[in-house]
Amino acid sequence: MRTAEFLEWAESRWPRELAETWDNPGLISGNLDQEHKNVLVTVDITHEVVDEAIAKNCSLVVAHHPLLMGGLDTVREDLYKGRLLAHAIRNEIALFSAHTNADVVKNGVSDSLARAIGIQDAIALDGSHVGHGRVGKVKPTTLNDFLGKLKASLPETNRGISFIGDLNQNIESVAVVAGSGMSFVDQVKADVFITSDVKHHPALDFKQQSLIRPQSLIEISHYAAESVWLEVLADELAGIGLEVILSSVNTDPWDGNLK
């Protein structure tokens, strides 16, 4: 499959018009006429990921996170993005990402996370079928037991899982936003909300509000939340005739967690 043909398929699967205005999904580097047979899928594009693509004869890397966000002023090779791009280009590795446009679609990132943790009849937070986050029902349980099942559903990371809430709280409805989702917290109508990258003040506000209306918050690793999608992505790419390899590189950035 040529790069141009892949881009045409990708646009039908993850329309760029669904991406947020600040986002930068799509082809990062590569030749439109290059032929691809093997593709590597990953959450993030790092030097280790490009090395893995080279070692496994993958000429295309499909990632969730765009490498180039917020503008790029230089491709100096003493800076990591310049070094990474040069390494990919010299080795004829095309780089592509599907980001917020892959978050919102059916079988996208939040949809995959919702399914992985057992949410039934999930819909987007705004009630649509194409939109940010997912919310639905789970088999009645306690927060304590739900945390255990959640941990077993996700890849292990050094960041682990944090939560706000009463471990004995009854849980019947769950909302998720894969990635950084606290901007959607006011839309959440569920017993527990799962997302990543929660800052101090929003967490404190949530905890104080939960004293008035009981609700729990669970923070999971950004990488863990979105890596669940890779198997779904792999199946879709295999369906269009590509040989797919899931990256073995865990791109969660944290090296440890002292308590």
Buried b (16+ CB within 10 A) or exposed e, 164-191: bbeeebebebbbbbbbebbebbebbebb
| Eight-class DSSP state of 214 | -
Residues 142 and 168 in one domain: yes
Could you read off the pLDDT of 126-176 as tens digits, one per residue?
998 899 999 999 999 999 999 999 999 999 999 899 999 999 999 999 999
- Residue 206, in any domain of the structure: yes
Last residue of a domain, one of 58, 74, 101: 101
Which residue bears the tokens 């029902």? Answer: 137
CA distance 133 to 125: 6
Residue 142 burial (10 A CB sphere; 0-12, 13-18, 19+): middle
Each residue of 184-209: pLDDT tens digit? 999 999 999 999 999 999 999 999 99
What's the pTM?
Answer: 0.94
> What's the confidence (pLDDT) of residue 73?
80
Summarize pLDDT for 73-85 with one digit per residue, the tens. 888 898 899 999 9
Asked, for residue 242, whether it belongs to a domain, the answer is no
State phi, psi for 8 to the nearest 5 degrees. -65, -45
Instruction: Tell me, yes or no, whether 115 and 216 share the same domain.
Output: yes
Does one domain contain both 91 and 119? no
Question: Domain for residue 253, yes or no?
Answer: no
The last residue of a domain, from among 51, 85, 101: 101
**Residue listed under structure tokens 């004293």:** 211
How many domains, in total, are found in the chain? 2
Kindly state whether residue 250 falls inside one of the protein's structural domains. Answer: no
> For the chain, what percentages of helix, strand and coil (3-state, to nearest 5) are there?
35, 25, 40
Residue owning tokens 């269009």: 240
> For residue 234, what are the contacts with CB-CB under 8 A and spacing of at least 6?
41, 244, 246
Clarify whether residues 97 and 113 are in a common domain.
no
Per-residue pLDDT, averaged over 57-62, amounts to 98
Q: What is the CATH number of the domain that holds 86?
A: 3.40.1390.30
Q: Which of 57, 74, 101 is the last residue of a domain?
A: 101
Q: Is residue 259 part of a domain?
A: no
Which residue blocks in 34-79 are alpha helix, DSSP H?
47-55
Considering the domain architecture, whether residues 68 and 169 belong to the same structural domain is answered as no
Are 95 and 116 part of one and the same domain?
A: no
Identify the domain containing residue 191 by its residue range.
109-222
2-11, 52-61, 62-71, 222-231: segment of lowest average pLDDT: 62-71
Residue 226 has phi, psi (to 5 degrees) of: -95, -20
Query: Is residue 170 located within the same domain as residue 80?
Result: no
Instruction: Provide the 10 A C-beta neighbour count for residue 10.
Output: 22
DSSP single-letter state for residue 69: -
